[in-house]
Structure 1
Amino acid sequence: MHQPAQMSAELSDPGRALALWNTLAPHRGSDGEHPVRATFITALDGAVTAGGASAGLGTDMDQAVFHGMRARAGTILVGAATARHEGYGPATVLPALSHLRSQDAPAAVWMVSRALRREDVDHIAGAKKAASEDAGPMSLVVPDVGAESELRSYAASCGVDVRLVPGDLDGFLPGAVDLARRENDGEIDCEGGPHLLEALLRAGLLDELVLSMSPHLYFPADVHLLPRPSGADMHSWQRRLRVVSAFSSDDGGLYTRWTVDADA
């Protein structure tokens, strides 16, 4: 049986940090650069949370992959509900990887929502106050039809940046990706949650999936890699993915990188 290559999660060694950096290099991008990639961890049955949070699945190697992808990124996309639940704040770069990064500042974290909400403004305002001085920017990204003027004024009074993207509530993601490519140098990394991943896949926007498989099974599973559709949210589509990289680690997990076939 073929055994996948092994890598170490200890990135203080420059050689190991460089090996991970090169392993995570993208296969392709939809426009030749700034590819859209997603970083997720699942249990063996596809669950993306344990005890209500993804941290319950984590391994040392998954954390190394997570930081490696962040160091490569210019923009981090995260669904607003996931950002609030997981306690997201502005991004920083792991010192062991900072010398490999071409950009001076850390990636911009963009909380993506179908509408501007007061709780999202409050979350970013609080996160920015608690962030370190070397952290990157953090913004809300919403469709222009979902942003009431009163809430825009409230966000401005809180010092929270709101990016308005043309488009309706279901079709603004392509505009958000285009805006990220224009404003921020580097890859675009989606870190969650399942609804944002599904929307990117359904819209044909995702180039790669970087998937850590935690060596655990949890029952009952909370949330899976893709949401379970129901009622008006039912959509029928399929995508074909192809594995381009895989390795293991001493922690027992399997770490894979998949490219999304453009013609699937």
Structure 2
Amino acid sequence: MTRESFLKNPSEEPRITLVGAGPGDPDLISLKGIKALKTAKVVLYDALVDERLLAHAPSEAIKVYVGNPSGDENFSQDVVNRLMVDYALNFGHVVRLKGGDLFVFGRGYEELEYAASYSIEATVIPGISSAISVPGLQGIPVTHRGVSNSLWILAGSDEKGNLSEELKDAAKSRATVVVLLGYDKLPEIVSLYQAEGKGRLPVAIIQNGSMENERVAIGIVNTIVEVAEEKQIDTTGPVLLVFGSTVELSAQFQNISRFFQLAVCSE
């Protein structure tokens, strides 16, 4: 079969499948997501998607990178929406492959609405959200009986780029607080927790969670900025912040605690 005959099938109705690819490790996509890729005529994929996943799509399929570099209008949501619909109308099945889960700061519902405005069938295949899985891979439960009975998942910034007002309420709570898209606001978030008298609250920072180039910084509110610098956490990959007592349950935090206890005893 030629690529042209593969793509041009007049009997195929336009349809779109939104697929969550998980936190980064390509093995963490769902089996249903892989099945969708196998029938794709076109795959539109984001910057946070491991390109090894594209091997599950037919070799003849069109693969289009629609990453989201900050400020680049070529990858704006409006452009991606139009590409998604145009490819579906011209070739049939389009897979929109996105990192994490589609509905956790993934703008998946906007894409569903846009497809519906053109009467194009669209289905959703959820992905594993980094907000829960990335801490879990470090042995950090986001809830634990007797420690934390609730979870807040927040963005670090609002639509204008300012510190999210909801973080003030989060800092007052006893919940585990997971902050996505907020590493550049770390000093400000630390100040909020310090103002609440929570300078010794455990904190974890995880960059490129689940991936080979993962970096982890573990500490407390009062020291986490310095620890992050020491561990060379930067903005070249997705960074997730975890504030809460459940961080203390991780093996890394316990090892750090034992180290400082030994250091104090030896003085």
For Structure 1 versus Structure 2, the TM-score category normalised by the shorter chain is 0.3 to 0.5
Greater length-normalized contact order (CA 8 Å, ≥ 6 residues apart): 1
Q: Taking structure 2 as the reference length, what is the TM-score of the superposition?
A: 0.35
TM-score, length basis structure 1: 0.35
Bigger helix fraction: 2
- Larger of the two Rg values belongs to structure: 2
